[in-house]
Structure 1
Amino acid sequence: MHIVVRQGPEIGPHIDDLARLRIEVFRAFPYLYEGSLDYEQNYLATYAKSSESLFVLAFDEERVVGVSTGMPMDHETEAFRKPFVEGGWDPARIFYFAESVLLPSYRGQGIGVRFFEEREAYARRLGRFDHCCFCAVERPADHPLRPADYVPLNAFWSKRGYVHQPQLRTEFSWRDIGENEESAKPMSFWMKELR
């Protein structure tokens, strides 16, 4: 297992790896994502446009088994920036962590921690960010597809120093498993001050 960091135009060869992993990993609860390559190409175009986007890739020999991503918040779409602008935050001072997707058989080996460490280190190297943040989907506790053994990642995120900011909210649409059309999903942000 080894970790590789790619930035800006270097991410191009790995966009298909990210699309494949997003479709596979986000099919599970809580995202329940019924992925498609068309949706992925549209969504992932934002990374390709940013000169400061980041991919942290986990390889098992030559196979990409996990990807963690990020970019400056002011390079993100309006749906992600809007809650911060309305809340009085400057998106140019925030580095946004997008997804972390890792195949289940590779979890519990410290890769998730490394994903956070690498993204935070990159944001510090860029030198103009006060905070890092990410957002997570909110599903009701009684959701019919919630597995009995599901454990939210809140404790993991808190241990990494991230604080839930329930007032910072957005919606993002995708097609859930079993849905014929996309529907809006509530998302809320978690933040950490960079020191």
Structure 2
Amino acid sequence: MIRTESLTGTAVAAVLDDLARLRIAVFRDWPYLYDGDLEYERDYLRAYQSPGAVVVAAWDGDRMVGAATGAPMEDHADDFAAAFADRPERLGEIFYCAESVLLPEYRGHGLGHVFFDGREAQGRLLGRRYSVFCSVIRPQTHPMRPSDYRPLDGFWRKRGYAPLPGVTAEFDWKDIGATASTRKPLQFWMKEL
């Protein structure tokens, strides 16, 4: 039986290592192809110890099998403010639904909805008007793209999200088999809460 919980405040710190390990495992797959390490993850995940951040976690017994993170957009301003510079929405109106990671054997059972419901609820609690996330842009012809890959666009659209034309960001990470990090483009999606 899978249990889920939304964690905020000091409760987030207690699960960051579990979350880091889960991110390393899940993001190794397409489309991220992330060659992660625990030290980088610990540093990156510090943003989710800020006021207003949430981790929606899924547990099978005492094992974290999935999680989704979210935070006020201004907590990520260094990375994403430029993408919204020409938009009418202010960063203070936006809740950023960051990562959503779930082990493959737990997919297809509604946890994706639980993850979005929890993050959107946190955004509303904070008085945010918009919810956004970004997806990785990879070429259709990428040699590591699985032949049976199904993008999540349909799921996101059913949740009310739509891509924001021209609103992209770039983020660095090291791909599997690479010797250094490289910049990857990310497409923002948004819905009104």
Question: Under TM normalisation by the shorter chain, which class is it?
Answer: over 0.9
Q: Which range moved further: 160-169 or 179-188?
A: 160-169
Shift in Å, 1:81: 2.1
Q: Quick check: 1:160 aligned with 2:159?
A: yes
Hey, what's the Cα distance between the residues in 2 that align with 1:187 and 1:158? Answer: 17
Aligned partner of residue 169 in structure 1, secondary structure = strand
Contact 2:52/2:122 (<8 A) preserved: no
Partner of 2:10: 9
| CA deviations over 1:32-74 (Å, ceiling 9, x no partner) | 00011122122112112x1111000101111111111100001
Unaligned residue ranges in structure 1 (runs of 5+)? none
Structure 1 segments, 4+ long, off by >3 Å, are: none
Partner of 2:48: 47
Aligned partner of residue 179 in structure 2, secondary structure = coil
Contact 1:56/1:68 (<8 A) preserved: yes
Q: Quick check: 1:177 aligned with 2:148?
A: no
Unaligned residue ranges in structure 2 (runs of 5+)? none
- The alignment-based identity, stated in percent, is 48
Contact 1:174/1:183 (<8 A) preserved: yes
Taking structure 1 as the reference length, the TM-score comes to: 0.95
Aligned partner of residue 81 in structure 2, secondary structure = helix
Taking structure 2 as the reference length, the TM-score comes to: 0.96
Shift in Å, 1:112: 0.6
Aligned partner of residue 76 in structure 1, secondary structure = helix
Aligned residues: 192
Contact 1:9/1:51 (<8 A) preserved: no
Hey, what's the Cα distance between the residues in 1 that align with 2:44 and 2:135? Answer: 16
Aligned partner of residue 143 in structure 1, secondary structure = coil
Q: CA RMSD in A?
A: 1.0
Shift in Å, 1:4: 0.9
Aligned partner of residue 14 in structure 2, secondary structure = helix
Shift in Å, 1:85: 2.7
Hey, what's the Cα distance between the residues in 1 that align with 2:45 and 2:192? Answer: 26
Contact 1:85/1:91 (<8 A) preserved: no
Matching of residues 96-135 of structure 1 within 5 Å: 96-126=96-126, 128-135=127-134
Aligned partner of residue 85 in structure 2, secondary structure = helix
Hey, what's the Cα distance between the residues in 2 that align with 1:115 and 1:91? Answer: 22
